[in-house]
Amino acid sequence: MKKLISSTVLAASLLATPAIAVDLEFYFPVAVGGAAADTIEDLTRKYIEMNPDVNIEAIYAGSYNDASAKAITAARGGNAPQLSVLLSTEMFTLIDEDLIEPFDAYVSDEEHKTWIGGFYPSFMENSQTGGKTWGIPFQRSTPVMYWNKEAFKEAGLDPEVAPANWDELVEMGKKLTKTDASGNTTQWGLRIPTAGFPYWLFQGLSTPNGAILANAEGNKTAFDTPEVIEALEYLVDLSSEHKIMQSGSINWGATPKAFFEKEAAIIWTTTGNLTNIRTNAPFEFGVAMLPEKQRRGAPTGGGNFYLFKDASEEQKKAAVEFVKWITAPEQAATWSIATGYVAPSAAAWETDAMKAYVKDVPASLVARDQLEFAVAELSTYENKLVSKIFNDALASAISGEKTAAVAMAEAQTKADDVLKKYRTTN
């Protein structure tokens, strides 16, 4: 743990006022490469210098799953942080556990319009339910498609044009896949990770095919629709029939490295990896929206700020003020530029810093523009269990153990068994 306040600032604040400073803790995950931890520390220190009556301790809690487990365990033990950045998909679980409270009571009517109303609507789908705002978008993302322009040139493809639809993805993927004299694949045309966050990238297929995996109330899934089954069949066929992607489980974390080392010419990963890829790719690359089928579409992803109930009113008010500040346009722009995450409000994109960044890195606009077509990331009550059910079903189809139709039918039955108790009956 590291106190983000200097002794000079602390001494000055104690001399300036006899009041005891408000102490805040917040848990923060570092889930991708880039300058995330340094930027959070710098922003937090800046806020403390501006507000010496507040002490903030940022606790880096590992991955999203680690941060969630630690925050929930601490809250259950009566030692909750006041704030946490956790996955937006944790919303229903945190509500069900009665660990968080909505931000609405600490926000004026005007701030509802200008602050909460200023975030992109697609991000708010995983932030609001039942007419209340439970999460504030911060570390938000969508999956996007990165492609190696040099590999495209070598394959006789236009290096400035990415595949726009499913058919083009297969067609170009075949031209990009390379084998050696022994028939071993040296470069795959495509890499879509199927381990790590499999349901999330699968939503990059199911959404363009017109499917919505769960309802807005978080108590019902639609895993066995024809659109979902067709999307899963397509994913399986990328390896088994078209042979443009390696078979079996494909690791999430190793995907950028596979791109850098030219093991895959096209990859799907989070826009939160943009800074990492800009820094480390040894070739020119492009960024594009995910290919369409019936429509454009992708899930949103990433983390929200949550306000924990087990805090004093003074702490809650101070915590909300900090969240207002760090998500304001200037700070949101700083965060987005440093990490590649999507600045969550249109106002952030109008700052001078962001305009300069966009001019230098036009690829940063892809994820923002894709928000027009984005849907909520899969999120339900008992989300970890329901997501595991779905991920296991995806794995059984990808491995060839079950057909897509059987896998999805079984997943839907299991999800219904979990979620039916959260549905009200008349």
Topology given in CATH for the domain delimited by 143-299+382-422: D-Maltodextrin-Binding Protein; domain 2 (3.40.190)
- pLDDT score for 339: 84
- Interval 204-229: pLDDT, tens: 999 999 999 999 999 999 999 999 99
Map the chain to HEC letters: CEECCCHHHHHHHHHHCCCCCEEEEEEECCCCCCCHHHHHHHHHHHHHHHCCCEEEEEEECCCHHHHHHHHHHHHHCCCCCCEEEEEHHHHHHHHHCCCECCCHHHCCHHHHHHCHHHECHHHHCCCEECCEECCEEEEEECEEEEEEHHHHHHCCCCCCCCCCEHHHHHHHHHHHCEECCCCCEEEECCECCCECCHHHHHHHHHCCCCCCCECCCCCCECCCCHHHHHHHHHHHHHHHCCCCCCCCCCECCCHHHHHHCCCECEEEEEHHHHHHHHHHCCCCEEEECCCECCCCCEECEEEEEEEECCCCHHHHHHHHHHHHHHCCHHHHHHHHHHHCCCCCEHHHHHCHHHHHHHHHCCCHHHHHHHHHHEECCCCCCCHHHHHHHHHHHHHHHHCCCCCHHHHHHHHHHHHHHHHHHHCCCC
Tokens linked to 182:
């022994």
93's tokens: 């679980």
Q: What are the domain boundaries of the chain?
A: 2-141+301-375, 143-299+382-422
Whether the pLDDT of residue 396 is over 70: the answer is yes
**What value does the mean pLDDT take over residues 14-18?**
41
pLDDT at 59: 84
Q: 6: pLDDT confidence band, cut at 50, 70 and 90? A: very low
Pick the CATH number of 2-141+301-375 from 3.90.550.40, 3.30.420.480, 3.40.190.10, 3.40.50.300: 3.40.190.10
Mean pLDDT over 166-184 rounds to 97
Of the chain, the percentage scoring pLDDT greater than 70 comes to 93
pLDDT grade, residue 349 (50/70/90)? very high
Burial class for 106, CB neighbours closer than 10 Å (0-12, 13-18, 19+): middle
- Which of 7-11, 111-115, 128-132 shows the lowest mean pLDDT across its residues? 7-11
- Residue-level pLDDT at 14: 40
Answer whether residue 96 shows pLDDT above 70: yes
- Mean pLDDT over 161-165 rounds to 98
Average pLDDT, the chain: 92
Q: Retrieve residue 329's tokens.
A: 């346009």
Banded model confidence at residue 10, pLDDT cuts 50, 70, 90: very low
2-141+301-375 and 143-299+382-422: identical CATH topology: yes
Give the mean pLDDT of 271-277. Answer: 89
Residue 163 has pLDDT above 80, yes or no: yes
Provide the pLDDT confidence category of residue 35 given band limits of 50, 70 and 90: low
Q: Are 288 and 366 in contact (CB under 8 A)?
A: yes
Q: Which stretch of 12-16, 128-132, 292-296 has the lowest confidence by average pLDDT? A: 12-16
Higher pLDDT, 36 or 33: 36
The band of 31, judged by pLDDT with boundaries at 50, 70 and 90, is low
Model pLDDT, residue 98: 95
Average pLDDT over residues 236-252: 97
pLDDT-derived band at 18 (thresholds 50, 70, 90) equals very low
Structure tokens at 302: 């990433």
Mean pLDDT, residues 21-28: 89
Query: Residue 2: phi, psi to the nearest 5?
Result: -135, 120
pLDDT of residue 11: 43
How confident is residue 63, by pLDDT bands cut at 50, 70 and 90? Answer: confident
